[in-house]
Amino acid sequence: MVDIDRLLGSGQPSRSHLAGNGMTTDLLLPLYGLIVGMLVGLTGMGGGVLMTPLLVVGLGMPATVAVGTDLAYSSATKMVGAWQHWRQGTVDTRVVRALATGSVPATIVAVVVLYYLHNVLHIDVNAALERFIGVMLVIAAALMARKLWMSFTGETNNLHLNYDHFPTGRLIAIGALGGFLVGMTSIGSGSLIIALLVMTIALAPDKLVGTDVAHAFLLVGTAALAHLLFMQDVDMLLAGKLLLGSVPGVLIGSRMAPRVPRRPLQAFLAVLLMSTAISMLK
């Protein structure tokens, strides 16, 4: 199941995973990282919903490799964010524990299912996975549109945080759903789970984001490790090249965020996600 040579990066796997000229690809990867990092910094949305389609549609990468590589890339950025939020005291550890109770085993199950389909039944899962990613993009676009609508109407969830009636069961279920989808597609640790959290429990905005990022680090890190061990589809060299652009991109986007109108940007991204989803579902 585990090929040590591949884990150590022998055989230059990154070239075989990508279509097109190698030098062009070497330039595009940090650029893609920069663009996605800036958008994450500007909007706070999860990087997977942007990066995975870019790797599949923009670079012609097989869907399984795009998912595994994006998870490795995302886990590094989530680790930094989680540490910062932990230092700031903006992480609700009880919520994180409940979510992780469902998400960590569920994401491992998802990767094992992929492994069984691909390596035991010898089914080419890439075409089906591309469509699955397309469906997730439709959901992400719909959630973004709903968030925009709520910002226009001033709608709130009217929930109150009550630790005497803590929704442990619902949080575990949310974690399990998000974990399975992240293991399959790398999408959902930010876009889906945070939307479901808003509808389930009342947290201050900074604590909502911090809690989501801390949980996402546990989830995405587990999913990346599972993909590395089972699917062996994580290209660490590509992930490193993406990080070269994304780290400064996040910093630039975060600095620009107070001066950039949020609603037009979110509307543009919702349309972009929907159009990308349509192209992947064809």
Residue-wise pLDDT for 224-280, tens only, equals 999 999 999 899 999 999 999 988 888 888 778 778 787 787 788 888 888 888 888
Using DSSP, state whether 61 is helix, strand or coil.
coil
Token reading at 209: 């984001």
280 neighbors 131 (Cβ within 8 angstroms): yes
Closest CA to 144 of 258, 246, 43: 43
Give the whole-angstrom CA distance, residue 142 versus residue 139.
5
The answer to whether position 8 is within a domain reads no
Q: Which of 9-18, 65-74, 129-138 has the lowest mean pLDDT?
A: 9-18
Give the whole-angstrom CA distance, residue 72 versus residue 70.
5
226: left (phi over 0), alpha (psi -120 to 50) or beta: alpha
Give the whole-angstrom CA distance, residue 131 versus residue 280.
6
Give the whole-angstrom CA distance, residue 83 versus residue 80.
5
Closest CA to 214 of 108, 107, 111, 87: 87
User: Which range of residues forms the domain containing residue 37?
Assistant: 15-281
49 neighbors 190 (Cβ within 8 angstroms): yes
235 neighbors 65 (Cβ within 8 angstroms): yes
| Residue 24, pLDDT score | 67
Give the whole-angstrom CA distance, residue 197 versus residue 175.
10
Give the tens place of pLDDT for each residue, 23-49.
Answer: 667 788 899 889 888 887 777 677 788
The answer to whether position 114 is within a domain reads yes
| Residue 104, pLDDT score | 98
Give the whole-angstrom CA distance, residue 242 versus residue 60.
16
154 by Cβ neighbours in 10 Å (0-12 / 13-18 / 19+) ranks as exposed
Give the tens place of pLDDT for each residue, 179-232.
Answer: 999 999 998 887 788 888 877 887 887 788 888 889 999 999 999 999 999 999
| Residue 240, pLDDT score | 92
Using DSSP, state whether 31 is helix, strand or coil.
helix
Give the whole-angstrom CA distance, residue 239 versus residue 129.
20
Domain count, the chain: 1
What is the DSSP-derived secondary structure letter of residue 18? S
Instruction: Please determine, for residue 7, whether its predicted confidence score (pLDDT) is greater than 50.
Output: no
Give the tens place of pLDDT for each residue, 123-182.
Answer: 888 888 888 999 988 988 888 888 778 777 766 555 555 555 778 999 999 999 999 999
The answer to whether position 224 is within a domain reads yes
The answer to whether position 10 is within a domain reads no
The answer to whether position 201 is within a domain reads yes
The answer to whether position 1 is within a domain reads no
| Residue 14, pLDDT score | 47
Instruction: Please determine, for residue 86, whether its predicted confidence score (pLDDT) is greater than 60.
Output: yes
